[in-house]
Amino acid sequence: MIVMRERSIVPGIVLLLLAAWFGFAVALANHYGLDVSFGISTGLQAAIAAIAGIVGAVYFLVSDNLGPSLKAARLLVVLGIACFLLGSWYGLFVAPPEKFMGQVQRIMYVHVPTAWNGLLAITFGFVCACVFLFKSDWKWDARLEASIEVGVLLSFLLCCQGAIWAKPTWGVWWDWDPRLTTTAVLVFAFLGILALRRFVEDPLRRAVWSSVATIIAYVDVPIVYFSVKWWNSLHQQQSSPQTVSSQFYLPLRMNAFGVLFIMTGFIMLRSRIARERVEQELAPPLPRAVEMQEAV
């Protein structure tokens, strides 16, 4: 049986609240004429928000034993949906249209957060694979399975959103652009790992083989990120807080944290399911079942 001690949710909540404060609460207050930034620059606010958000999410992901009812995971999903709805409303009805792309640009408020969190989920899966190979701890295998599934889902949604955005801006639904192509390779690579886990019945072989495959497939993640810098790409390069108006990055950050909270909650819930399945596979057969097998 996989035994894990329960942990307090307070540190994770504090980190996520800190991230949300500097991520979009300060920008929202500034939009209405209030300065609650404590004199911290916009770039440093973005760095604090990103670090606190990632560390807070990782705290929950490696503490997925926060009570038998997983109230923390459900709370994160609810908070994520609330942030996402608020950010989407702001992006659709409050933020102005972009100067060159017009109304089409509004899909950015969903597309970019999906990209960030999809790569983050797969990165967490990569970490889980490395830890499992060194420690042979089954809870890391369960987290690996959960993070890859959520990462593949977000990456697939990313491709669909990109196609919707590409049609009115590029004139085609799909182009063999470096960013699009490497993202498609990423989706199919990790779909293959999920298929591998599906067809390998032995728990140890399944865990080891999928961990090794995850480490190999993860090579594509930095290629996806740097593809717009390494090659001539139709896709625009990454922006920064200094190059994006506050009217644009406010809904973008709201949705980014919304997707982050939802992603974290989904991985926690899916990890619990995977862990219970592994416990059943590793458990010794019941005496009655053994007797029936011997009788046969």
pLDDT by residue for the chain (296 residues), tens only, comes to 444 455 677 788 888 888 888 877 877 777 677 777 777 877 788 788 888 888 888 888 887 555 545 778 888 899 999 999 998 898 888 877 777 777 877 888 898 899 989 999 999 999 999 999 998 888 899 999 999 999 999 999 998 888 888 888 778 888 788 888 889 999 999 999 999 998 988 889 999 999 999 999 999 999 988 887 777 666 666 665 555 666 677 888 889 999 999 999 999 889 888 888 877 877 776 565 545 555 55
Domain membership of residue 5 (yes or no) is: no
Beta-carbon-side half-sphere exposure of residue 21 (alpha carbons within 13 Å):
13
Please tell me the total count of domains within the chain.
1
Domain membership of residue 124 (yes or no) is: yes
Report d(CA 191, CA 286) in Å as an integer: 35
Domain membership of residue 3 (yes or no) is: no
Domain membership of residue 222 (yes or no) is: yes
Report d(CA 274, CA 65) in Å as an integer: 13
Domain membership of residue 182 (yes or no) is: yes
Predicted model pTM = 0.85
Report d(CA 113, CA 128) in Å as an integer: 22
Domain membership of residue 4 (yes or no) is: no
Q: Which residue range(s) make up the domain with 202?
A: 10-295
Domain membership of residue 1 (yes or no) is: no
Question: What tokens were used for 143?
Answer: 């987290």
